Structure 1
Amino acid sequence: MPALPPARVSLLTVSAIKGLGVVHPREIELTPTGASGDRAFFLVDENDALISVTRTGAWLGLTAEYDRAAGRLTVGSPGGTLLSEEVKPSEPVLADFYGYRSASGRVVEGPWSDLFSTLANRAVRLVLADGENGGVDVRPATLLGDESVAELARRAGVDVDPRRFRMLIGFSGGAPHTEDTWEGRSLGVGEALVRVEGPVKRCGTVTRNPSGGAADLRVLRLIKDYRGLGESVFGRGVNFGVYADVIRPGRVRVGDELELDAT
């Protein structure tokens, strides 16, 4: 039964390479592992540990597009295409994701690692994940309400760009933080059906400007000031938004209605 009208999808957010800037398609294909093409690649340091936005904002001005069928990866900036080549995976890597899990993949040969290393001023390697969406952190989907972001901005007295949170599905409608009350319930989103899971513990990523990469706003402190600390899969911390598992894959479009307790 519809419990949230007129709650609707307002923003979709993906990135082919974890750690780069995000793009906002009008629709996605939501699969059991995430949005098709999302977080297909990730970057690691010399110890095979993940390097994400938490550790550097050097790549936030870049976007990536991956044509899996053609095997071609394209990385661009506001000035145009920086590099576009067929992906050639080589030696295997087992990457450490925050000590929470391991992610397997293969290092991509060619000029990719040099490009990202130069920008970050440190040695990194680009990795193609073995599985689709292999760079996803915990669950295949995340949700955050526009009203939650607006409430944060209102209480903090500053503008807050929702892109800072890099959530797969943003939605309009409902009270601030209404998504926190949905844990364990099913949610119809377009053609897809998800089960809402626990809260997302936020990291330093949210402090970075989503366009330039500089740490320019103390978002963690701003959230904590009015929400306090809470428990999550990563332990106690600052929570904002929720995870979700995909029960039924399907197409999700901006403007699609959300239906709580859908089947």
Structure 2
Amino acid sequence: MSPAPKAVQLWRYPVKSMGGEQTDRLFLGPSGVVGDREFAVVVAATDRVLTAKREPRLLDATARRHEAGAELTLPDGRRFTTADPDADAILSDWLGQAVGLRRQTGRVHTVEEYRKDPAEPSSLSTFDLPAGKFVDEAPVHLLSEGALRTAGARHPDGTWDVRRFRPNVLLSAPEHGPAEDAFLGTRTAIGNVLLDVTEPTQRCVMVTQPQRNLPKDREILRSLVRASAGTFGVYATVARPGTVLLGDTLAADGVTARELVR
């Protein structure tokens, strides 16, 4: 029997579609990871959220939590916070169009993006994000090292870097195969958090986009479509808020390693 998967990397992404930050703990509230996708870049002309599916350069910027909200670093080295009065102007200058940073306030936001290949104009579409969060589907995303190894074996010329897939929790897996899939449809514990693992994560063109020394690679998505109808990783919602630490074990039925030793 394989050992239970553990959290080997923890990630949050303060600005939607920008590079995120690794941390040694995540705080999860009822609506997801605190500080995750708290901000988004919005096109001034349409008031629609801009994502890396339409503007891949967003992935070359990074964001980290900051007392002012988030601190952003652009590829040219410019660094500023979301509270900087010039933040919108700096982003607009970098992207070559009028944009602004928006903090999630509970309203529903609309995204306009390419769901498939930006080379196909017919793939441009709009959709509404869940109220109160700048996430596409669910607020927590889990992926395992085993899933990365298995996918990498199918497309060995690809760079299967975790940054392409943007999970909140990367799980250990001593063998090949997606360890996270075993928890689909269950209430699962990690740290002192309870998660309802709801559905596989459906992938899109974003995983193929270039970013910070990762090349564009359309075969990444094609190989996932062939192998699993384009799914990779799992989504979850928060049933009981709490904290996840590096090394915490994912366990079924609401039992955690930390609770067992109390």
Aligned partners of 2:155 and 2:223 also within 8 Å: yes
Letter in 2 for 1:130: T
Moved more, 203-212 or 7-16: 203-212
1:116 matched to which residue of 2? Answer: 91
| Distance in 2 of aligned mates of 1:219 and 1:180 | 20
| Distance in 2 of aligned mates of 1:205 and 1:4 | 32
Shift of 1:126: 1.1
2:195 matched to which residue of 1? Answer: 194
- Alignment partner for residue 36 of structure 1, among 34, 37, 42? 34
Identify which of structures 1 and 2 has the higher relative contact order when contacts are C-alpha pairs closer than 8 Å and 6+ apart.
Answer: 1
Aligned partners of 1:192 and 1:246 also within 8 Å: yes
1:232 matched to which residue of 2? Answer: none
2:219 matched to which residue of 1? Answer: 218
Runs of 5+ consecutive residues of structure 2 not aligned to the other structure: 107-130, 256-262
Letter in 2 for 1:116: L
Runs of 5+ consecutive residues of structure 1 not aligned to the other structure: 88-109, 230-237
Shift of 1:195: 0.8
- Alignment partner for residue 24 of structure 1, among 10, 22, 25? 22
Shift of 1:79: 7.2
Shift of 1:80: 5.5
2:150 matched to which residue of 1? Answer: 151
What SS does the corresponding residue of 2:88 show, helix, strand or coil?
Answer: helix
Residues 93-143 of structure 1 show CA distances to partners (whole Å, capped at 9, x for unaligned) of: xxxxxxxxxxxxxxxxx3222222222222222111104972122212111
What SS does the corresponding residue of 1:245 show, helix, strand or coil?
Answer: strand
2:79 matched to which residue of 1? Answer: 82
Shift of 1:37: 0.8
- Alignment partner for residue 245 of structure 2, among 245, 253, 259? 253
Residues 136-158 of structure 1 show CA distances to partners (whole Å, capped at 9, x for unaligned) of: 22212111111011101011113
What SS does the corresponding residue of 2:254 show, helix, strand or coil?
Answer: coil
Q: For residues 48-59 of structure 1, what are the structure 2 equivalents within 5 Å?
A: 48-59=47-58
Moved more, 136-145 or 168-177: 168-177
Query: Identity of aligned pairs, percent?
Result: 28
Q: For residues 98-113 of structure 1, what are the structure 2 equivalents within 5 Å?
A: 110-113=85-88
Residues 49-88 of structure 1 show CA distances to partners (whole Å, capped at 9, x for unaligned) of: 2211211121222222343xx535422247756113636x
What SS does the corresponding residue of 2:237 show, helix, strand or coil?
Answer: strand
Aligned partners of 2:150 and 2:176 also within 8 Å: no
Aligned partners of 1:144 and 1:242 also within 8 Å: yes
1:6 matched to which residue of 2? Answer: 4
Distance change in 2, residues 1:4/1:247 (3 Å): farther
Shift of 1:225: 2.7
Q: For residues 226-237 of structure 1, what are the structure 2 equivalents within 5 Å?
A: 226-227=227-228, 229=229
What SS does the corresponding residue of 2:239 show, helix, strand or coil?
Answer: strand
Q: For residues 89-100 of structure 1, what are the structure 2 equivalents within 5 Å?
A: none
Aligned partners of 2:28 and 2:34 also within 8 Å: yes
| Distance in 2 of aligned mates of 1:43 and 1:86 | 14
Aligned partners of 1:192 and 1:249 also within 8 Å: yes
Aligned partners of 2:12 and 2:168 also within 8 Å: yes
Cα RMSD of the aligned pairs, angstroms, is 2.4
Aligned partners of 1:4 and 1:258 also within 8 Å: no
Letter in 1 for 2:97: R
Aligned partners of 2:57 and 2:211 also within 8 Å: no
Moved more, 172-181 or 44-53: 172-181
TM-score in terms of structure 1 length: 0.78
What SS does the corresponding residue of 1:218 show, helix, strand or coil?
Answer: helix
